[in-house]
Each structure stands twice: as structure tokens, then as C-alpha cells.
């Protein structure tokens, strides 16, 4: 229900506010938005949400194209090779920084071959267990897993959730059995069915489960507690510093795109994020809106690439 609500958010006409009108510069050529994942996941949902409202803000049609596969690299390569004419955008995410070290022979540089446009959201990760699990806290879960190794699922090999559990294992000197899935729903089904002891996943995927009492959140990876699940402590509060790892959704363009075009789109994204219902819908899923200049996203891409390269190397993670 929440996904359908998100995809059918506001009629375009409701966005004809003075602030958005100022950002608009009519153009009869549509913008292609490449989404490098399959329809239905959070990256796709946020991309479509932004596209729905960014089009009226810019005075241009935006056509969404899903090009999934190869850990998002099919869509990313398509975007990297597109003409830098301001008519192609790519729905980027934290996978850009991770893929730089996870995949050794890419025909493009996931960090340097794009022009950052805007970070749109911040997406914390959360470690969850069943509501009836004996572990009542993160410390308890870690201690129990020292006696009996825990099976911890993630939505996929090499994703941010996977790298985060490697960070935790290295910091706590524990050994979990990582069980990667092709999507978070499958991991959550096995957790609820009892074949996993925990799942690390983005908070938006489990907000309703935790609120409904089916799952218990042990800790979130954001610097501060989230408004969506305010009773769940951060990893730092739970006694584990250094496990902060917040994912993101955003927009990038092919390298060489005119900086003036990038600034125009960035300003329009900022205005879209002020729409109250947009903010409320994102917050309900634990996804926080972020309004920042393109330079901030560039700095984040490079810093994350360096951090995750070290984790990938130490944990000997390979793309599957």
C-alpha cells in the first residue's frame, strides 16, 4: 500500500507553485532518466517520485527507463556513454561508490565518469530480528552469535547492507554467516520463517514490520535516530562506534554535462523536496530528503569509494 501511495503521489498540477515555476525553463525535448535497477525497489520508487514532480518544475517531460542487471552496471554504463547534452540523467545510489572496487574490469569509472547533480535522499540501514528472538539488544545479539554463529541475510552480495555487516564483524571480532538474496523481500520472508537470525536492510523495507510488532530493530546505521523508528537506537548508542553507513538516492549526469544545466536541475530538485506531501511520504518510509549542491555529492562519492574499497579488500568480497 505504501509503495502504491508513493508512486501515485501528487497530481502534477499541484506542483505549479511560484517557487517551482521560477525553476522552470520550457524545453520541448524530453529528459531521459535511466534507472539501473528493476521496477519496484526503493531506488526505482524514489526515481519515479522525483521524475513525476521534476518534470513540471523544469517545464520538460521526463521519460523513465529501467535498465537493470550486472549490479546496476548496465544502466550506469548506458548513462556514462550518453551524450552530455543535458537530456540524460541517471538515478544513482551508493552502488556507484561500491561498484568501483567490487567490479575490477568495468569499461567506465563509476565515480569519475559522471557529473553529480543532486543527492535526493539519505537511507539508513537497520539490523532486524524476529520480534520473539531471544536477543533483546545489539550487544546481546553479538554475544549470542559468538557462542552460536548467526545467519544474517542481506538483499544482495556487495550491497551496502553486506558491507556494513562486514564492518560490524571486523569491529566486534565475530563471525556471521552472510546469506545474500536477490532482493530484500526474500530475506525478510526467511527471517520471519525462522531460517535466519537477522537481516541487514534499508530501513524503508521494514518500517511497517517493526511498527507492527513482527520484527525488532536492534540498531540503525544513521548518525542520529530516525523519525520513522525513533525507539531504535543507533549503532553508536548501542555500543558500536564506526558502523555509520547511510545509503542515498540521487541524480547524476554524463561527464561533461554543462554545469549551468546541472545547477538548474539541482535547484529544481531542491524545490520539489519542499513539497510537504513529498517529505511526508519519504519520512514515512524512513527515507530522509536531502537538499545539497552537486559538489557535496561529488565529495561523498569519492569518500565512500575510498572507504568501501578498504572494506571490500579486507573482507575479500567479490561480485557475484
Domain count, the chain: 2
pLDDT at position 204 = 87
Cell of 17: 507553485
Burial class (CB in 10 A: 0-12, 13-18, 19+), 16: exposed
Alpha helices (H) in 121-275, listed in sequence order: 138-147, 160-172, 184-193, 207-211, 259-272
CA gap 66, 74 in Å, rounded: 10
pLDDT at position 27 = 66
pLDDT at position 277 = 78
> Is residue 266 within 8 Å of 117, Cβ to Cβ?
yes
**233 domain residue, yes or no:** no
Residues 128 and 108 in one domain: no
- Tell how strand 62-66 and strand 177-180 pair up: unpaired
**92 domain residue, yes or no:** yes
pLDDT at position 17 = 42
Residues 78 and 27 in one domain: yes
Residue 109: is its pLDDT beyond 80? yes
pLDDT at position 21 = 40
Residues 25 and 49 in one domain: yes
CA gap 216, 305 in Å, rounded: 31
Query: Which has more confidence, 9 or 102?
Result: 102
Residues 110 and 159 in one domain: no
Cell of 292: 545539497
Parent domain of 292: 2-121+247-315
Q: For the chain, what is the mean pLDDT?
A: 89
pLDDT at position 6 = 37
Query: Which has more confidence, 229 or 283?
Result: 229
Residue 219: is its pLDDT beyond 90? yes
Residues 39 and 109 in one domain: yes
Helix H or strand E segment including 308: helix 294-315
**228 domain residue, yes or no:** no
**Mean pLDDT throughout 242-247?**
92
Query: Which has more confidence, 305 or 26?
Result: 305
Residue 20: is its pLDDT beyond 70? no
pLDDT at position 319 = 83
Residues 158 and 302 in one domain: no
Residue 25: is its pLDDT beyond 60? no
> Is residue 153 within 8 Å of 179, Cβ to Cβ?
yes
pLDDT at position 16 = 39
Residues 149 and 197 in one domain: yes
Cell of 105: 574490469
CA gap 237, 243 in Å, rounded: 11
> Is residue 209 within 8 Å of 215, Cβ to Cβ?
yes
**Mean pLDDT throughout 251-263?**
97
Tens of pLDDT, residues 73-96: 999 999 999 999 999 999 999 999
**205 domain residue, yes or no:** yes
Residues 101 and 23 in one domain: yes
**Mean pLDDT throughout 165-190?**
93
**Mean pLDDT throughout 148-160?**
94
Residue 19: is its pLDDT beyond 50? no
Q: Could you give the percent of the chain with pLDDT greater than 70? A: 92
**100 domain residue, yes or no:** yes
**39 domain residue, yes or no:** yes
CA gap 55, 63 in Å, rounded: 9
Tens of pLDDT, residues 45-70: 899 999 999 999 999 999 999 999 99
Least confident residue range of 119-133, 140-154, 282-296? 282-296
Find the CATH number of the domain harbouring 150. Answer: 3.40.190.10
**231 domain residue, yes or no:** no
Residues 21 and 116 in one domain: yes
Find the CATH number of the domain harbouring 7. Answer: 3.40.190.150
Q: Which residues contact 242 (CB under 8 A, 6 or more apart)?
A: 167, 171
**240 domain residue, yes or no:** no
pLDDT at position 54 = 95
The pTM is what? 0.86
**Mean pLDDT throughout 203-212?**
92
Q: Could you give the percent of the chain with pLDDT greater than 90? A: 78
Residues 7 and 97 in one domain: yes
**Mean pLDDT throughout 193-198?**
96
pLDDT at position 9 = 39
Residue 276: is its pLDDT beyond 90? no
> Is residue 47 within 8 Å of 91, Cβ to Cβ?
yes
Residues 29 and 109 in one domain: yes
pLDDT at position 197 = 97
> Is residue 100 within 8 Å of 71, Cβ to Cβ?
no
Residues 143 and 111 in one domain: no
Of 220, 238, 273, at which residue does a domain stop?
220
Tally: H helices and E strands in the chain = 12, 10
Amino acid at each position: 500500500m505504501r509503495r502504491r501511495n508513493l508512486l501515485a503521489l501528487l497530481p502534477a498540477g499541484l506542483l505549479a507553485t511560484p517557487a517551482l515555476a521560477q525553476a522552470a525553463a520550457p524545453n520541448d525535448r524530453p529528459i531521459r532518466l535511466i534507472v539501473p535497477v528493476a521496477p519496484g525497489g526503493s531506488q526505482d520508487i524514489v526515481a519515479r517520485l522525483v521524475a513525476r514532480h521534476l518534470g513540471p518544475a523544469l517545464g520538460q517531460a521526463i521519460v523513465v527507463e529501467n535498465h537493470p542487471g550486472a549490479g546496476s552496471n548496465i544502466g550506469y554504463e548506458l548513462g556514462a556513454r550518453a551524450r552530455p547534452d543535458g537530456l540524460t540523467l541517471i538515478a544513482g545510489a551508493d552502488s556507484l561508490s561500491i561498484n568501483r572496487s567490487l567490479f575490477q574490469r568495468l569499461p567506465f569509472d563509476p565515480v569519475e565518469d559522471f557529473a553529480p547533480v543532486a543527492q535526493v535522499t539519505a537511507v539508513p540501514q537497520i539490523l532486524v530480528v524476529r520480534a520473539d528472538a531471544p536477543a533483546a539488544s545489539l550487544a546481546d545479539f553479538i554475544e549470542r552469535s559468538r557462542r552460536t554463529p548467526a545467519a544474517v541475510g542481506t538483499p544482495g552480495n556487495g550491497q551496502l547492507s553486506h558491507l556494513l555487516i562486514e564492518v560490524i564483524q571486523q569491529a566486534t571480532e565475530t563471525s556471521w554467516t552472510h546469506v545474500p538474496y536477490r532482493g530484500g523481500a526474500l530475506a525478510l520472508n526467511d527471517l520471519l520463517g525462522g531460517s535466519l537470525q537477522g537481516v541487514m536492510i534499508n530501513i524503508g523495507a521494514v518500517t511497517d514490520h517493526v511498527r507492527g510488532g513482527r520484527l525488532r530493530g536492534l540498531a540503525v546505521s544513521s548518525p542520529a535516530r530516525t523519525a520513522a523508528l525513533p525507539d531504535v537506537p543507533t549503532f553508536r548508542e548501542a555500543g558500536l562506534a564506526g558502523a555509520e553507513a547511510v545509503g542515498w538516492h540521487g541524480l547524476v549526469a554524463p561527464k561533461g554535462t554543462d554545469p549551468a544545466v546541472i545547477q538548474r536541475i539541482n535547484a529544481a530538485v531542491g524545490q520539489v523536496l519542499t513539497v510537504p506531501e513529498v517529505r511526508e511520504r519519504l519520512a514515512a518510509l524512513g527515507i530522509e530528503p536531502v537538499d545539497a549542491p552537486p559538489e557535496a555529492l561529488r565529495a561523498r562519492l569519492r569518500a565512500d569509494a575510498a572507504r568501501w574499497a578498504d572494506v571490500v579488500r579486507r573482507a575479500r568480497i567479490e561480485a557475484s
